[in-house]
Structure 1
Amino acid sequence: MKFKTILFFGISLLLISCSMVKYTEQAKLTLKSSEKNKKELKKAAKYFHKIDQSDRLDALLFLYENMPSHSFVKIGLFDENEVEVTWNFSEFKDYDEAKTAMDSLEVEFGELHWKKKEKRIDHQTISSEFLIDNIDLAFKAWEEKPWSKKYDYTVFKEYILPYRGSNEPIESWRSWRGYFMDSYKDIPAQMFDQTDIIEAAQLINKDLTSWFKFNSKYYLHPTDQGLFEMLMSKEGRCEDITNLTIYALRANGIGATSDYTPHWANAGNNHAWNVIILPDGKATPIMGNDSDPSRYKLSSKAAKVYRKVFSEQKDNLAFKLMNNEKAPAWLSGKCYKDVTHEYTKVFDVNIALDCEIPDSTNYLYLCVFNSGEWKAIHWAKINNKAANFTDMGVDIAYLPMFYVDKKLFPAGYPFILTKNGDKKILNGNNLFEEEVVLHSVTKKNIDRSNKDGRTVFFEKGEKYELFYWEDGWESFGTQIATEKPLRFNKLPAKRLYWLVKENSNEEERIFTYDNNKQIWW
């Protein structure tokens, strides 16, 4: 009897062990921090384990391992007293109208700012039903679409399986009325080669282009849109377009994500665009909803290009910062890869520091000039008063800076990284002997000018101020514009300059001055 009892318990323990989900260590950490949502996460895992679908369970655990780094933040508009102000964004037809309305609100309520109202971290809010549905439909597309069978599991789980494109609200875009799968079910019949991923993507993209449009007013939309909002608005900014394209492509078994530059190096703003991931892991750029694959070209210079991925990248700065150490927002993400070398010629840049390093500062940042200020584009660890920056885009002006108390401070002289990888330091000590003659505040205007070099692009009667860089922007004086070029004498030579119209939006570009010409950066 005793032997039978021991045997019974032994078999029972074996059966229980076999029936338990084996979580990876990282997935266990996700469960531990999922708070009240642990039941939902376990429910999804038990579902795939019970029906003996180990591939889908493995895919689920991949999502769990990386889920804590993904979220949606609900944002509101607040006044100086932290009282929320109603912002009816959908009422406006374009950016100018929305900006005018925003300015009117500031007249009424004082200076306004965006503020986080609620953060919905994925693993603490996502449902088991959503996860099961997302995984089943992702596998269905991968297994059934004729062009998808070339993908291996590694590419599948990073670029087809994930349920979000950026930081948008989570929505069931794979299954909602079968929208993307049903809309493009007849595509194979239209193709010359049903296994051609690029051809399939072109056909899907062509349809998206027919009904979803770019509208700059969405620069004043506080978050990326979800699918349902996009289906209603039928317009958005670059991030919305890339997400919509990701939904349509992934739903049809095409590996897709978005690449982005946080700050253009020779213009204002930033940009995001799609890439189609091929079976060998290589990427083909495309501006979703705008151009065909292989023909897309960046409109400005990129010092850095990063790729959004779902998995945490342990070499990123976020995993290296010490306790309480902060980084500029764009560089604090955990789920991006540096792919600059896929877009432009790159060189490593070594910076030797001659200045004192602020207390508790371990990292140096390279910055580009964007919309009137220097903005961090890459980081490097400081070792023995030096820092080495990897894969920097060329023919660009940079400034090394420290990040202290959430502000950037100069750590050296600005320089040009030339096309040959040389650093041209802008720290001249002499003055120009000849008169400096200026024709414009941007290169775009110069490009349109007459070849005689006498055409000017200033607003007559407006005041312009010339700055040169010396540990900060130093004013060299102001002039009122006429029909003639602006002329300055005894200007410090071999420096970086910035000519700004009074009360402008500070989109004027920086320049150097060589051979009697403005050289734009």
Structure 2
Amino acid sequence: MKNRFRLNLFRFVLLLFVCVSCSQEYDKALEDALNLAGENRPELEKVLRHYHGDTLKLEAAKFLIRNMPGHYSFADTTEVKPYYDEVDSVLTTMKGCNVWTIRDSLVKIDNKYADLSPEWVEDIQIIKADFLIQNIDSAFVQWKKGAWARHLDFEQFCEYLLPYKAEELQPLDAWRTYLREFHPDHLDELRYCDQLKNSSLQSAITLNDNLWYYMRPEITEASQVRPIYRLSTRLRMPFGICADFTNMAISVFRSQGIPVALDFTPQWAFRSLGHTWNVVLVNNGKNVPFSGATSNPGQPHKPDERMAKVFRITYAVNPDLKRLSEIEAFVPSAFRYPFFKDVTEEYMDCEDVEIEVGDSLDGRYVYLTVFDNTEWKPVDFALIKGSKVVFRKVGMNSVYLPVCYEAGGQMKAIGHPFLHTYDKEVRPFIPDTSRRVTLRLLRKYPVLRHVQGVVMRLDSGEFHASNDARFREYEMLYRVTDCSVTGREVVLPDTLGAFRYWRYYQPKNGSYCNIADIRFYERATGKQCVGKIIGTDGCWEGNPGHTKDKAFDGDLLTFFDAPVSSGAWTGMDFGKPVDIGRFVFTGRGDGNSIDIGDWYELLYWKEGGWHSAGKRKAETVYLLYEDMPRGALYWLRDLSKGKEERIFSYEDGKQVWW
């Protein structure tokens, strides 16, 4: 009994020491923040005094102040006001106009203010006590007395409801008040249903439906105009990138007391760009993804798109990111902002990855990168210990390259690119020059969802040859059974003979005779034959860009789109019988199949960089590269045009995209 008492006493003393140490550390962080406030320190001390008798609100105020350094606003909002006001004016006068017409007008305003570059200042130096107190009090009312945030604990409350703004440079205004009136249709009706009256999920669905109905946003891949941070203006914008609407949604949802945050992947693992979206913290403690004003919680959110890492924007500083900036001479831009945390395991099966990097880099940071179509982009970081580095919670079935940065920002590979397999293995890509392979390359980019939707329109298409202009009798040359989005070359038998009329015919319902490119080559000379274009007149919905001649204009991005669902055709009248030895064709697609006449260069990764395997001009719908090393990571570049290109391996005679 005496030993047990001593053990419990020891545990109590140890716990007390830990609590005091943590309290002292927090107090130091608070004092550091107050010191950074400079002349604005009295405003922050006023907030602390105001909550002296309320323990929980005092802790909330301390949380905001401790983590305030690094959060920024415009030093003088009057500098940006004229720009915002002109945007408002255009949105008012052009209400109801075509989105892209509005965009063109706003681009002109953006150009007018091209030199606008207002100074930034840390919030800690300008924020006022009254503003902070009003925000804290409002957030507590939403938490304790509101309908949709009662399930939050204090830590969750501090991140999902308490912050006085949702993003950097957002004006320090009364957004909680005026956004509360921004189309809260049907939210109040939930109180009549016992099952839903406290449902943060259902409230988020209802409010997001309202945002979609009133905003009808057009999502673009690139910013068209400079960011607009004034919410009263931003909520009227009919177009923008995903981040525009997800950031806006945070403020709108929090104004109603709905706990919403922002998640992002800095770079897709399979194509260019990254992505941002929202999450709502629902009553069972799970974060449910959605996109503000576009897709609702509960709807699948890009489930088939591979991600390497996922992070959540926070108000609190991430000590690991802060330490990174303090230690490293150069930090890539993706990790200079210290307010986010890793939530990858909420989205996918992931696994730690351990890499041997040698002893020379001990104590330095290494980054894990993925390819963005043109270069390697960092998506994670880790500290080297000894000769190894461990990256935590890494997405699988993606290709990575470990790198470090020199003081001047030069990226340096410190290992081979590798595939993190579903079997949780690290499979490096190492060119094996002792074993060679011939590569038959059909595309420079994988087939994505928007292309797959029209792929099957090539199915059952037929190529005919005839000496009858009406094709009452004809020779069946080829019938499409493989709808791959690649060019096809068909070699015709010597015994076929000569014909005057050659065509592509589509009997299948729903095909609209979609085809992008057809080329006929004379048997004797090998030269392309050109004749008079014949076939079904007209096009779908009268679009002049999709007539039958588009199948012969040499452009893979144009195509014939017939006015009828089936039975249409396009072809050539050569004026006399011609002996065609081969023809090539490419179905409607994305223009990333091998394009005849373009110059290409194949690269493969070796010894820390890309090495050229040679440049060549495409003479047909595929490229052959002979005597290539096995096991390498490849990259095919179109030197003539386009920007969509992707790394791949070559396995079992096929390109495997990463």
What TM-score, normalized to structure 2?
A: 0.66
- Which of 203, 212, 215 is the aligned partner of 1:209? 212
1:435 counterpart residue number = 438
Letter in 1 for 2:614: G
1:311 counterpart residue number = 316
Whole-Å separation in 1 of the counterparts to 2:166 and 2:179: 20
1:465 counterpart residue number = 601
Letter in 2 for 1:468: Y
Q: Where in structure 2 are there 5+ consecutive unaligned residues?
A: 1-25, 77-82, 91-97, 457-480, 488-592
2:294 counterpart residue number = 290
1:80 counterpart residue number = none
1:175 counterpart residue number = 177
- Distance of aligned partners of 1:248 and 1:96 in 2 relative to their CA distance in 1, 3 Å threshold: closer
Please state how far the C-alpha of 1:282 moved relative to its aligned partner.
2.6
CA contact (8 A) 2:438 2:624 kept: yes
Q: Where in structure 1 are there 5+ consecutive unaligned residues?
A: 1-22, 76-85, 106-111
- Distance of aligned partners of 1:508 and 1:454 in 2 relative to their CA distance in 1, 3 Å threshold: closer
Letter in 1 for 2:254: R
- Distance of aligned partners of 1:48 and 1:236 in 2 relative to their CA distance in 1, 3 Å threshold: farther
Please state how far the C-alpha of 1:59 moved relative to its aligned partner.
1.6
- Distance of aligned partners of 1:211 and 1:87 in 2 relative to their CA distance in 1, 3 Å threshold: closer
Please state how far the C-alpha of 1:397 moved relative to its aligned partner.
0.5
- Which of 43, 47, 62 is the aligned partner of 2:46? 43
Letter in 2 for 1:305: V
CA contact (8 A) 1:361 1:402 kept: no
2:482 counterpart residue number = 451
The yes-or-no answer on 1:518 pairing with 2:519 is no
- Distance of aligned partners of 1:321 and 1:151 in 2 relative to their CA distance in 1, 3 Å threshold: closer
1:348 counterpart residue number = 352
SS at match of 1:443: coil
- Which of 615, 622, 630 is the aligned partner of 1:478? 615
The yes-or-no answer on 1:494 pairing with 2:494 is no
Q: How does 1:143-182 map to 2 (within 5 A)?
A: 143-170=144-171, 171-176=173-178, 178-180=180-182
The yes-or-no answer on 1:239 pairing with 2:243 is yes
Please state how far the C-alpha of 1:506 moved relative to its aligned partner.
3.8
Whole-Å separation in 1 of the counterparts to 2:267 and 2:657: 17
- Distance of aligned partners of 1:430 and 1:224 in 2 relative to their CA distance in 1, 3 Å threshold: farther
Please state how far the C-alpha of 1:136 moved relative to its aligned partner.
2.0
Whole-Å separation in 2 of the counterparts to 1:371 and 1:455: 20
Please state how far the C-alpha of 1:184 moved relative to its aligned partner.
6.4
Q: How does 1:40-439 map to 2 (within 5 A)?
A: 40-49=43-52, 52-72=53-73, 118-170=119-171, 171-176=173-178, 178-180=180-182, 186-189=188-191, 193-212=196-215, 213-216=217-220, 219-223=223-227, 225-279=229-283, 281-298=285-302, 300-314=305-319, 316-323=320-327, 325-353=329-357, 357=361, 362-404=364-406, 405-430=408-433, 433-439=436-442
Aligned length: 476
1:156-208: CA deviations, max 9, x gaps?
A: 12211112223242343202274349666624357552021111110011111
SS at match of 2:30: helix
Letter in 2 for 1:502: L
CA contact (8 A) 2:84 2:228 kept: no
Whole-Å separation in 2 of the counterparts to 1:218 and 1:375: 18
RMSD: 3.4
Rg: which structure is higher? Answer: 2
Whole-Å separation in 2 of the counterparts to 1:177 and 1:317: 33
Whole-Å separation in 1 of the counterparts to 2:201 and 2:84: 41
Whole-Å separation in 2 of the counterparts to 1:395 and 1:472: 22
Letter in 2 for 1:464: Y
Letter in 1 for 2:287: A
Please state how far the C-alpha of 1:427 moved relative to its aligned partner.
0.5
Whole-Å separation in 2 of the counterparts to 1:398 and 1:437: 25
1:272-304: CA deviations, max 9, x gaps?
A: 100111356431111221212122322621100
What TM-score, normalized to structure 1?
A: 0.82
Please state how far the C-alpha of 1:229 moved relative to its aligned partner.
2.8
Letter in 2 for 1:373: E
Letter in 1 for 2:147: P
Whole-Å separation in 1 of the counterparts to 2:117 and 2:413: 30
CA contact (8 A) 2:441 2:622 kept: yes
Letter in 1 for 2:295: S
Letter in 1 for 2:213: S
Whole-Å separation in 1 of the counterparts to 2:375 and 2:101: 22
Letter in 2 for 1:407: Q
Letter in 1 for 2:405: Y
CA contact (8 A) 2:400 2:419 kept: yes
Whole-Å separation in 2 of the counterparts to 1:287 and 1:161: 21
CA contact (8 A) 1:395 1:417 kept: yes
Of residues 428-437 and 362-371 in structure 1, the stretch that sits farther from structure 2 once superposed is: 428-437
SS at match of 1:174: helix
Please state how far the C-alpha of 1:370 moved relative to its aligned partner.
0.8
Of residues 498-507 and 473-482 in structure 1, the stretch that sits farther from structure 2 once superposed is: 498-507
Whole-Å separation in 2 of the counterparts to 1:306 and 1:95: 36
Please state how far the C-alpha of 1:454 moved relative to its aligned partner.
8.6
- Distance of aligned partners of 1:216 and 1:489 in 2 relative to their CA distance in 1, 3 Å threshold: same
CA contact (8 A) 2:598 2:640 kept: no
CA contact (8 A) 1:133 1:175 kept: no
Of residues 149-158 and 366-375 in structure 1, the stretch that sits farther from structure 2 once superposed is: 149-158
1:470-501: CA deviations, max 9, x gaps?
A: 12111112222344211111122211111111
Identity of aligned residues (%): 28
Please state how far the C-alpha of 1:432 moved relative to its aligned partner.
6.0
Whole-Å separation in 2 of the counterparts to 1:224 and 1:270: 20
Whole-Å separation in 2 of the counterparts to 1:490 and 1:93: 52
